[in-house]
């Protein structure tokens, strides 16, 4: 029993660690652009953390359904459950994303009235909001993969994301620092 549990659970434990490490790296990168940019990023990140329980609820419902279908050898049902859950999750999180792309102040003004922070938050929400549907889609499929007992692919995808953020962020900051020197804790525009 422990072997069956750890076959999925031990590998799946890397995914939250990768996510947290990605957020830490992004926070460090954004901090280089000043306190207003960091505060704007923090406002956007709060919304993303609220999307996790929504996707978690859908994904956790898919997990046993996928597991039962796999156990019964019904691969067609497994796929239907996984894709239906992923589509529902993408629709839900994507709707929130489109809402903040169109109306970022609905969220951002809940936390600040500082014009510079609002500007940073608006920028962040308009860019990141476009990806919320993909976030929900991928996270739900991650749970479905747990039900199928196949988490290596999603964990490797998380590793790729972490590498892209770390190397891409380093490259952007290194290249940007030559073009836009810091002044008073902020990069010039």
pLDDT in tens, 70-81: 999 999 999 999
Helix (H, G, I), strand (E, B) or coil at 34: coil
Residues whose CB is less than 8 angstroms from the CB of residue 186 and which lie 6 or more positions away in sequence, other chains included: 33, 34, 36, 37
pLDDT the model gives residue 2: 81
Report the DSSP pairing between strands 186-187 and 182-183. Answer: antiparallel
Query: How confident is residue 181, by pLDDT bands cut at 50, 70 and 90?
Result: very low
- Statement: residue 185 has pLDDT above 70: no
For residue 44, give both structure tokens.
């956007």
Look up tokens 């609905």; give the residue.
Answer: 106
Q: Which residues pair with 182 in a beta bridge?
A: 187
Query: How confident is residue 178, by pLDDT bands cut at 50, 70 and 90?
Result: low
């Amino acid at each position: 029993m422990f072997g069956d549990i750890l076959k999925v659970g031990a590998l799946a434990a890397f995914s939250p660690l990768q996510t947290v490490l990605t957020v830490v790296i992004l926070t460090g990168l954004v901090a280089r652009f000043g306190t207003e940019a960091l505060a704007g990023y923090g406002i956007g990140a709060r919304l993303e953390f609220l999307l996790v329980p929504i996707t978690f609820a859908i994904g956790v419902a898919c997990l046993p359904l996928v597991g039962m279908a796999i156990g019964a050898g019904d691969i067609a049902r497994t796929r239907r459950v996984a894709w239906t859950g992923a589509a529902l999750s993408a629709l839900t999180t994507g709707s929130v994303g489109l809402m903040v792309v169109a109306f970022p102040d609905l969220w951002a003004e809940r936390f600040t009235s500082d014009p510079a922070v609002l500007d940073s938050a608006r920028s962040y929400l308009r860019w990141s909001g476009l990806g919320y549907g993909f976030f929900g889609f991928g996270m739900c499929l991650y749970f479905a993969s747990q039900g199928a007992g196949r988490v290596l692919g999603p964990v490797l995808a998380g590793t790729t994301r972490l590498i892209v953020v770390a190397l891409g962020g380093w490259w952007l900051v290194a290249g940007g620092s030559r073009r836009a020197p810091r002044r008073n804790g902020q990069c010039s525009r």
